[in-house]
């Protein structure tokens, strides 16, 4: 079976429809499964804002998805504002998109190429985790995968384990 392109359409926390199909000109898409309460997830928010700025002009679209049943639209919107998120935050109320991606923890990062095929799935890097908090990551997994996709290369490490709270 040939791999199929991922498709999904969800509403932003502001109630606007948002679809992967609308991103025709992007070289890569970073799909982030995030929550509002997980300390590891929240430790990564400033880093994701930095990365989005770094990759924005390289043709990369970042988008966050909240699939937590217990997070209200209001809580998600407040969390996005508090952390100054510079990319769309979508609501996956029925958990369908998380299930389709097989995302179990947040923060989980997924890199899609221009054809919306999954090229990487896993952690952002190895800086924060259960019981540890390094001053700097020793491996920037998401950045490495993104750079390889943008260079038209195969991603060397396609999956990494995610440390974080269950969705």
Judge contact between 41 and 35, C-beta under 8 A: yes
Q: pLDDT value at position 3? A: 63
Which residue from 43, 34, 22, 42 is spatially nearest to 91, judged by alpha carbons? 34
- Residue 1 banded pLDDT, cuts 50, 70, 90: very low
The string of pLDDT tens digits covering residues 109-127 is 999 999 999 999 999 999 9
The string of pLDDT tens digits covering residues 120-166 is 999 999 999 988 899 999 999 999 999 999 999 999 999 999 999 99
Look at residue 2 and tell me whether its pLDDT is greater than 60: no
Length of the chain: 167
């Amino acid at each position: 079976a040939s791999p199929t392109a991922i498709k999904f359409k969800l509403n932003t926390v502001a109630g606007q429809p948002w679809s992967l199909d609308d991103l025709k000109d992007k070289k890569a898409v970073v799909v982030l499964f995030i929550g509002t309460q997980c300390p590891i997830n929240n430790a990564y928010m400033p880093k994701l804002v930095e990365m989005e700025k770094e990759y924005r002009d390289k043709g990369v679209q970042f988008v966050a998805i909240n699939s937590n049943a217990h997070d209200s639209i209001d809580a998600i919107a407040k969390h996005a504002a508090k952390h100054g998120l510079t990319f769309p935050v979508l609501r996956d109320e029925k958990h369908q998109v998380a299930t389709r991606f097989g995302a179990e923890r947040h923060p989980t990062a997924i890199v899609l190429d221009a054809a919306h095929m999954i090229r990487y799935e896993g952690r952002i890097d190895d800086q924060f985790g259960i019981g540890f908090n390094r001053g700097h990551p020793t491996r920037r997994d998401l950045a490495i995968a993104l750079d390889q996709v943008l260079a038209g290369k195969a991603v060397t490490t396609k999956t990494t384990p995610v440390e974080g709270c269950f969705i």
